[in-house]
Amino acid sequence: MSARILVVDDIESNVRLLEAKLSAEYYEVLTASDGPTALAMAAAERPDIVLLDVMMPGMDGFQVCRRLKDDPETRHIPVVLVTALDGRADRVAGLEAGADDFLTKPIDDVMLFARVRSLTRLKSVIDELRDREASGRRMGVIAGAASRLGGSGGRVLIVDDNLRQAERVASELAVEHRPVVESEPYKAVLTARGPVDLAIVNANAKAFDGLRFAAQLRSDEATRNIPILAVVDVDERPKTVKALEIGVNDILARPIDPGELAARVRTQIRRKRYTDYLRSNLDHSLELAVTDQLTGLHNRRYMAGQLEALMRRACQGGEPVSLMVIDIDHFKKVNDSFGHDVGDEVLAEFAVRLASNVRAIDLPVRHGGEEFVVVMPDTELEDARRIAERIRLHVAGAPFRVMGGQELLSVTISVGCATSMGAGDSATALLKRADEAVYEAKSGGRNRVIARAA
């Protein structure tokens, strides 16, 4: 998986060395020699990863990282700080500024590429979600902002057979999170399928294989989106690389530093909430694309796809498809006499009565205005007529309460039914026959059902 990587360093030889290493692995490399240039390039070029030197004149790497993470347009770009510093205070400062990881000079090539591949996978997922969310915003079906999503108050699952270490980690996290400790993998999997924001897994557990457990979380559809923080001994490079390869999000070296633990956990939870927010918006936008917002029924767009598929099956010798087209009688008078708000109340109440009187296999749809359609798979015309009559009686049998119950309106409907004719028939022709039956019902005095055989 290739990526565009922005390398930021004020020393030309460092830039050229990193550029050569990354280019040899077929990454596209952008370069900048100072903080302001890096910020401008990140905003304009939208790289997949930023490799950022800490010690730069003017604006150092911590400041640049903080500015990138404060900007809604660049905060999702992973940042790896590259530094000769290896002290606790510097690591924590970088993580609190929003950095995803540290690489210490001289750079270990194996660790560099393992981290780049891991962050590239993460970035590609977020980019896809962001693109879909942007489409939803352009359609006007997504609102809100993710700027308020924080990294505290998370539910953290600690999976460790070293109970002393696990309890110490839990105690540190309990200040701002809700940790739970599990020492047995099968119990931990069950816990992970609940509301969990982060899993911390001891990769050196003696009673179970920590990396195998992490791989299991990644392969399970119910848990694959949970970020994983693997605890690895500081000198275990092969295990660290393997953890990143199987999809672990971040590494925490032992002995565990409380400040680094807090910063890494906060970063992972904040990112989890951001991706959850994007997925939620995506689900919402998909729902809005196929749902009528006033009635909660499916809309015309969704019906078209379902009806076409059923008609293809019917034309190839499958079970017949029936269609019911329903029009609310004299609906314009309701709007003219009481206003559109009352008209909306009538539509919403009718949708409830309609949905409660069709079968589980039927698809009730608001086709537009006061017209509704019910798609009825595996249904003969006489069965469709009988169900339509039941709906008509239920609507006409009790008045609609509107305006908070202050008014009672008598409502009736006209219904047309038609059934597929086998080979050569089409969804358009079926809908036209049901429409013609509705017109016949209305011209015959309304409040009636007409079933049209051909």
* pLDDT score of 302: 86
Q: Which helix (H) or strand (E) holds 41?
A: helix 35-45
We report the CATH number of the domain holding residue 403 as 3.30.70.270
Domain boundary among 254, 281, 308: 281
| Same domain assignment for residues 235 and 310 | no
- Residue with token string 């059934």: 419
We report the CATH number of the domain holding residue 235 as 3.40.50.2300
Query: Which among 313, 47, 299, 267 is positioned nearest to 152, based on CA atoms?
Result: 267
* pLDDT score of 101: 87
Counted residue by residue, the chain has a size of 454
Catalytic position from the list 128, 184, 370, 436: 370
Domain boundary among 140, 165, 196: 140
Q: Are 250 and 227 in contact (CB under 8 A)?
A: yes
Residues 6 or more apart whose CB falls under 8 angstroms from that of 306 comprise 363, 375
| Same domain assignment for residues 308 and 445 | yes
Q: Which amino acid is at 248?
A: V
The answer to whether residue 288 is domain-embedded is no
Q: How far apart are the first and last CA of the chain?
A: 58
| Same domain assignment for residues 223 and 169 | yes
The answer to whether residue 188 is domain-embedded is yes
| Same domain assignment for residues 233 and 321 | no
pLDDT in tens, 257-292: 999 999 999 999 988 988 888 777 665 656 666 788
| Same domain assignment for residues 306 and 436 | yes
| Same domain assignment for residues 175 and 272 | yes
Q: Which amino acid is at 404?
A: G
| Same domain assignment for residues 163 and 91 | no
Q: Are 325 and 435 in contact (CB under 8 A)?
A: yes
Backbone angles phi, psi at 201, to 5 degrees: -120, 130
Q: Are 65 and 230 in contact (CB under 8 A)?
A: no
Q: Please confirm, yes or no, whether 370 is among the known catalytic residues.
A: yes
| Same domain assignment for residues 310 and 207 | no
The answer to whether residue 177 is domain-embedded is yes
| Same domain assignment for residues 151 and 75 | no
The answer to whether residue 19 is domain-embedded is yes
The answer to whether residue 195 is domain-embedded is yes
| Same domain assignment for residues 176 and 261 | yes
pTM assigned to the model: 0.65
Q: Are 116 and 162 in contact (CB under 8 A)?
A: no
| Same domain assignment for residues 94 and 172 | no
Domain boundary among 251, 281, 311: 281
* pLDDT score of 140: 47
Residue-number span of the structural domain to which 411 is assigned: 300-452
The answer to whether residue 286 is domain-embedded is no
Q: Which two tokens stand for residue 164?
A: 């002393």
* pLDDT score of 123: 86
| Same domain assignment for residues 119 and 222 | no
Give 3-state DSSP helix, strand, coil % of the chain, rounded to 5: 50, 20, 30
The answer to whether residue 120 is domain-embedded is yes
Rounded to 10 degrees, what is the CA torsion of 34, 35, 38, 40? -120
Q: Distance (Å, rounded) from C-alpha 401 to C-alpha 349?
A: 9
Please tell me whether residue 406 adopts helix, strand or coil conformation. coil
Q: Are 416 and 440 in contact (CB under 8 A)?
A: yes
The answer to whether residue 292 is domain-embedded is no
How many domains, the chain? 3
391-396, long-range: CB within 8 Å, 24+ apart, which pairs? 391/324, 391/326, 391/353, 391/354, 391/357, 391/358, 391/415, 392/447, 392/448, 392/449, 394/353, 394/356, 394/357, 395/350, 395/353, 396/447
* Residues of the chain under the 50 pLDDT cut: 139-143, 147
Q: Are 381 and 451 in contact (CB under 8 A)?
A: yes
* pLDDT score of 136: 53
